[in-house]
Amino acid sequence: MHDDRTLVEARLRRVLDERIRPAVYPESVPLEVAVWHAPGEPVPVAEGLAAEPEPVRVGARWGAPWGTSWFRVTGTVPEEWAGRTVEAILDLGFDENMPGFQCEGLVYRPDGTPVKGLNPRNQWVRVGAPAEGGEEVRLHIEAASNPVIMDYRPFRPTRLGDKETAGSAPQYTLARMDLAVLDETVWELVIDLEVLGELMAELPADAPRRWDILRAVERALDALDLQDVGGTAEQARSHLTGVLSAPAVPSAHRVSAVGHAHIDSAWLWPLRETVRKVARTTANMTALLDDEPEFVFAMSQAQQWAWVKEHRPEVWARVKKAVADGRFVPAGGMWVESDTNMPGSEAMARQFVHGRRFFLDEFGIENDEAWLPDTFGFAAGLPQIIKAAGARYLLTQKISWSRTNKFPHHTFRWEGIDGTRIFTHFPPVDTYNCSMKGAEIAHAVRNFKDKGAARHSLAPTGWGDGGGGTTREMVAKAARLRDLEGSATVTWETPSAFFAKAEADYPEPPVWVGELYLELHRATLTSQAGTKQGNRRSEHLLREAELWAATAAVRTGFPYPYEELDRIWKTVLLHQFHDILPGSSIAWVHREARATYARITGELTGVIDSAQRALAGEGTLPLVFNAAPHTRAGVAAGGAGPASPEGRTTLTARPGGGHVLDNGLLRIGIDARGLLVSALDIEAGRETLAPGRAGNLLQLHPDLPNMWDAWDVDEFYRNTVTDLTDTDEVTPGHDGASVRVVRSFGGSRVTQLLTLPPGERRLVVDTEVDWHETEKFLKLAFPLDLHAERYASETQFGHFFRPTHTNTSWEAAKFEVCNHRFVHLQEPDWGVAVVNDSTYGHDVSRTVRTDGDGGTTTTVRASLLRAPRFPDPETDQGVHRFRHALVPGASIADAVREGWRINLPERRLTGAAEVAPLVTADRDAVVVTAVKLADDGSGDVVVRFHEAHGGRVRATLTTGFPAAGVEVTDLLERPLADTEAPPLDGGRITVRLRPFQLMTLRLKRA
């Protein structure tokens, strides 16, 4: 037989495009259209429906950036269409290649009932099936003219990312607005041919199955009259029945399809627009569930569910019914799909507390999985947090984006820093926007790393990022792929059903230990410094507010602000979403975030002040309130009292220029350039800095990555560096314990204060940057005289180690990484810590000196600022303040303590008497991360703590109030049935912890 395969395949493509798809709607009549443009922000639905619109024609331009236009479409179903399926085709000016990234709409009936959402891949609204001739049609569309921020030439700077700079030019051209007959047979033929054509293209050219499909398609096309597609579609379909009914082979890979619409809670649109995106998507998905009995849809992010409940009660009622039917599934059990690298210990825990509690309160449902398909890597402390919240599984897709190394598994157990293991799955389909194309399903099969040992994978199916969800076309394709020869089998399932099957199928998967590092998007640890500082400081203010409010409630009857703290926690958690905290959203998002953090700071400061005043009482005794988890200057952790004397610091002239600071513990040399040239640990007789190298060195790099400007920093940025050594001023500080350094470069100015506090083994570096650079990267470097093959980096509830070398491609890829409050490097008998109050990104590198002693220089560099131009062209322009401290001679215990200290400065006021802590621990290795009252309003005291040094510890906790009982609980403050409570003996509780173990105790007050 002659090889005519390419001829038939080309014929299929053309006939589908030019004849069959256009015949899906063979008859149409135009609708009458009128529009009212809402001034300013979106208006309530009732106001939009009541507004008087002006007539408008198809082809008209509409929609200022971020505007809302209310379209009214009216028409009459022709009498001759009676008994047929009729739909309104409402094209607002869509580009079908951009679902979720441009204009969208929500359709309402005249009474305000939402019908469904409109987006580029979902432009239809069912009018009648069957339709009634002469039926009047009247629909209203709340249309959002969201501008296209990232188009076919992505990453170009644009002012469209903020309504304050976007202008008023219309963004879209109104396209088709018709009533049309839907020929369902032709529609089914389109799906048949798409499924077979896509499957055929993935099979080997010499596979018999491919040729069976080819001949069936050829016969179908021969049977189709191109001048009467509707009249011959059924006959064409009959020739495809055989190849569509051939069953899959028994060894076929098994795909669990989960209806999905990954909706970024903010990204290339503001938070307020996400509220509407969620409403459109959930309206669509509940409608699709009504039409498709096998379809299952899962939605994560309790915040988004809460938005539907608050803003769209009619849609919420439909969602609740679908949840009760088991087909609209809460997933993930987190408040938002947050970043997991940067949120602190308590914040990461509260993501699960608030997310899981919402689903429990609303639906009585408890999730087994953490659902984070798009998060930019996963911190090594996360597994035990997932387990402590009551979950068992993790799903993500994003690691497939790594640029250097291919992750070796798709299904595995992930082991965290304390030894907790979580069953984890990476969908081999390599997208969280699967559309059921044959190429996607075939890629999942080929790509699956665990063949021969497992055969289940998951496919999140539906348009996402900006929402939209699953379409009827995807559902129809999945139905044909349910059991089809040559393909993986596809079944709609809930996430929990998938994980149960996958775990049973693969009970002993391989284990991956440590962080799940994404070899991409490393700059998200630095971009938008203001947002990151707002997060860090809000986390610590929340700790203080809970601690002092709980202490005051127990001691004085102070009214514990349950509702206020709950609201603020949820606001902070929302802003940890993986495009807000990482700094990858438009300018509008970060402008609002800065304002939100400022408001939160005021509210939490008010709570702290009120609680401390209630505790202190009226008096003249100077009190220092210590919210850190370690005793400081004689003041107990979680208590208040007079501070002990701290010694003194001297400042003298340095020979050759500059200054020397000395407090008897450290002697600090600062040269005439304002650089740190000596940091001598006097007791150890050990110099901290490498010979001939200077610390406190600001370094400036060019920074234009190949893609993803706000997200990425590419390794070649290090090829070019400018050391900022010129100074405007190097002078003594006003306190006699500091040196002030001022530098200018480019359009920017840096003012630093280097302070050696009396009685402390740390040099504090306060840096203020008035930043006006473009596409630059600013680092703060400390070259240390240390030989260390690894270093410790703080993460949630502990720390973990990264190598300082680049032996393999895995280590070399980690040229920019995350820490929380400290990094620590150590030789066996001496170490150094670098701590910070608000930065996350850093790098550590090592060189061997070729002159002098031949020793090793290990350089720690903190990342301060970047200046990408997309998606926010003014990223980080303006004034920023950072605080770092260099701690020579530090053990890991010192690093932990100093990390807390720099983030929780003392608060001072006068009062009547000292304040004893509610709870104390007798071992520094036991770090208390939360002291609060139980969320249920019972008045019980909840204490959360962990082992922080990486060793086993036996410790005694002592309560500062009469305690009648103690329970070990999960993060949601519920007793753990299989865990014996530690004994309570006169207010003393003895606990034993393994390395980095997290524990939550609930203490009943007597």
Give catalytic residue positions.
Answer: 374
Residue type at 276 in one-letter notation:
R
Phi/psi at 756 (5° precision): -110, 100
Q: Which residues pair with 669 in a beta bridge?
A: 660, 678
Residue given tokens 């703080």 in the structure block: 794
Q: Given strand 941-947, what is the order of strands in its sheet?
A: 926-933, 941-947, 998-1005, 963-969
Half-sphere exposure of 634 (CA within 13 A, CB side): 10
**Of 287, 261, 266, 260, nearest in space to 106 by CA:** 287
The rounded distance, in Å, linking the Cα atoms of 918 and 429 is: 51
Tokens of 446: 């080929």
Cβ-Cβ contacts under 8 Å for 651 (sequence gap 6 or more): 659, 660, 661, 732, 736, 737, 738, 739
CB contact at 8 A, 472 and 369: no
> Between the CA of residue 472 and those of 291, 306, 522, what are the distances in Å?
9, 26, 37
Pairing between β-strand 856-866 and β-strand 776-784 as defined by DSSP bridges: antiparallel
Residue 802 in 3-state DSSP?
strand
In 10 A of CB 715, how many CB atoms?
A: 14
Phi/psi at 429 (5° precision): -65, -15
The rounded distance, in Å, linking the Cα atoms of 256 and 157 is: 40
Residue given tokens 């947050």 in the structure block: 338
The rounded distance, in Å, linking the Cα atoms of 667 and 205 is: 75
Pairing between β-strand 67-76 and β-strand 659-662 as defined by DSSP bridges: unpaired
The rounded distance, in Å, linking the Cα atoms of 757 and 616 is: 27
Residue 634 in 3-state DSSP?
coil
> Between the CA of residue 377 and those of 151, 733, 883, what are the distances in Å?
26, 42, 26
The rounded distance, in Å, linking the Cα atoms of 691 and 640 is: 43
**Angle in degrees, CA 832, 837, 840, rounded to 5:** 80
With both helix axes pointing from N to C terminus, report the angle between 345-363 and 562-574 in degrees, rounded to the nearest 10. 110
Q: Is 247 exposed, middle or buried (0-12, 13-18, 19+ CB in 10 A)?
A: exposed
**Of 987, 990, 999, nearest in space to 929 by CA:** 999
The rounded distance, in Å, linking the Cα atoms of 678 and 861 is: 17
CB contact at 8 A, 731 and 850: no
> Between the CA of residue 339 and those of 344, 582, 914, what are the distances in Å?
11, 7, 40
Pairing between β-strand 926-933 and β-strand 28-30 as defined by DSSP bridges: unpaired
Half-sphere exposure of 587 (CA within 13 A, CB side): 21
The rounded distance, in Å, linking the Cα atoms of 591 and 139 is: 36
In 10 A of CB 250, how many CB atoms?
A: 5
Cβ-Cβ contacts under 8 Å for 897 (sequence gap 6 or more): 628, 630, 924
Tokens of 956: 């005694």
Half-sphere exposure of 936 (CA within 13 A, CB side): 12
Q: Given strand 763-771, what is the order of strands in its sheet?
A: 729-732, 738-745, 748-755, 763-771, 878-888, 830-836, 822-827, 790-795, 798-803
Residue 282 in 3-state DSSP?
helix
Residue type at 702 in one-letter notation:
P
E strands, 153-246, in order: 172-173, 177-181
